[in-house]
Amino acid sequence: MFESLSDRLTGSLKDLRGKGRLSASDIDAVCREIRLALLDADVALPVVRAFIARIKERAKGAEVSAALNPAQQVVKIVNDELVGILGGETRRLTFAKNPPTVIMLAGLQGSGKTTLAGKLARWLKTQNHTPLLVACDLQRPGAVSQLQIVGERAGAAVFAPHPGTSIGGGENALGVSAADPVEVARAGVAEARAKQHDVVIIDTAGRLGIDAELMGQAAGIRDATAPDEVLFVLDAMIGQDAVSTAEAFQDGVGFTGVVLTKLDGDARGGAALSVREVTGRPIMFASTGEKLEDFDVFHPDRMASRILGMGDLLSLIEQAETVFDAKQAEDTAAKIGSGQLTLEDFLEQMMAIRKMGPIGNLLGMLPGAGQMKDALASVDDKQLDRVQAIIRGMTPAERADPKIINASRRLRIANGSGVKVSDVNQLVDRFFEARKMMASMAGRMGMPGARKQVQ
Ligand code: GDP
């Protein structure tokens, strides 16, 4: 899922790296690539158009921000816009003030409603809810018993017409299919109230295509049960049809949220990227397999960074943006790149970084930080306090040019900051090592000023 889209988007953004300045034609070229990547991923054309227009507009005005280099700014803009079309904030379920909360599932046959009913029930149970599944899909042979099976797996009670007689595919023989789904839904909610279930999940019938009868029945169930949430279940693999199906359900039944299923398939992802923009309804859950555990709340920001394949780099960029003074950050980046970082800068950076939280967490967000894990585990805030004290014990000249810190200066600094000479030695050695390492990393990441570095 999203793999080829992800590869293409990352590829087009990679071309920008190392550019100190972006021209209008650089922006046009990257937008063209993004547009093709989205169209190939089956994203609906109006969505693509609006997306590209917003990126262009923002990218052209981006030069005013000095906090990030131009390529980083474009990555951030693309990411922001992706999060936006995926819905922005994570949308949680709304629970009724007076239980039971009624959740109705609607969607085409085979979209994964019955499976989802089990997944939702299991997930709700982990949060101490007591869901009741109600079988209102009386059309598809075997749907009632399928719901009973998933209910059993999820450890949730199932309310079905003629309980106890429908297992084994005997619905038709027993005349259950003749039952009225609207009545079953109503009775299911009453049952939940009587038996103290705090959530009711109503599985409804779907057809292979959209038809008036299906919509009429779903609307009847909706009117009879006044659901708190109507979830439209959408198979992510149906490609371009996703948009028209979603629109038909929105007109016919209306829904409060979308659940995308089969995200584990090799679908190109267009459904996910179009449905929110077209219907204005948030994607609330994502289903990624046939097992009940293959299910989670949908987080637009995580999905966007997964699509862009940037790990948590973007959240790091964002935190850095809020903490660092833009001009200072740019100067420091240039100094890092050229290997001219001073202890003074180091101290300033450290203070800024510390404002962002425990250092281990922060460094852990960097892509490729895996190899550095052991080193990171040994960094603690107390050590940083000591480092800070040592640097504060130095004169401005020593901070600016640590090479002048000879033996007698080391002794003076150690005495002044209440540490051993060996601590000062260690800090100075480490600083030189870190400066070298950061300069070479900066070179590899294409940071501004890095090309001066001969490595
Ligand atoms: P319904 O007709 O809407 O109730 O759909 P079902 O729940 O019966 O699902 C149809 C088929 O899709 C079943 O074979 C499910 O096992 C399968 N299915 C449902 N959700 C997923 C999913 O997220 N990933 C995969 N791979 N298969 C799924």
Between the CA of 275 and the centroid of ligand 1 the distance, in Å, is 19
Reported ipTM:
0.98
Between the CA of 306 and the centroid of ligand 1 the distance, in Å, is 24
Whether the full predicted model's pTM is greater than 0.80, yes or no, is: no
Minimum-distance ligand 1 atom for the alpha carbon of 288: 23
Amino acid 173: pLDDT: 36
What are the start and end residues of each CATH 1.20.120.140 domain in the chain? Answer: 3-85
CATH of 313-452, one of 1.10.260.30, 3.40.50.1820, 3.90.110.10, 3.50.50.60: 1.10.260.30
Minimum-distance ligand 1 atom for the alpha carbon of 115: 7
**CB-CB contact of 276 with 282 (8 Å):** yes
Q: pLDDT (tens digit, 0 to 9) for every residue of the chain, 455 residues total?
A: 677 788 888 777 777 766 767 778 888 888 998 899 888 888 889 999 999 999 998 887 765 455 566 777 788 888 889 999 999 989 999 999 999 999 999 999 999 999 999 999 999 999 999 999 999 998 888 899 999 999 999 999 999 986 444 433 444 333 444 479 999 999 999 999 999 999 999 999 988 777 888 899 999 999 999 999 999 999 988 877 888 999 999 999 999 999 999 988 766 678 778 999 899 999 999 998 999 999 989 989 888 877 776 544 555 555 555 555 556 666 767 777 777 778 887 777 666 666 655 554 555 455 444 444 444 455 566 777 788 888 888 988 898 888 999 999 999 999 888 889 999 998 898 888 877 877 776 666 655 554 443 33
Tokens 């014990």 correspond to: 393
Question: Quick one: fold of 101-300?
Answer: Rossmann fold (3.40.50)
Amino acid 378: pLDDT: 53
Amino acid 453: pLDDT: 36
What are the start and end residues of each CATH 1.10.260.30 domain in the chain? Answer: 313-452
The CATH code for residues 3-85 is 1.20.120.140
What are the start and end residues of each CATH 3.40.50.300 domain in the chain? Answer: 101-300
Binding annotation for GTP:
107-114, 203-207, 261-264
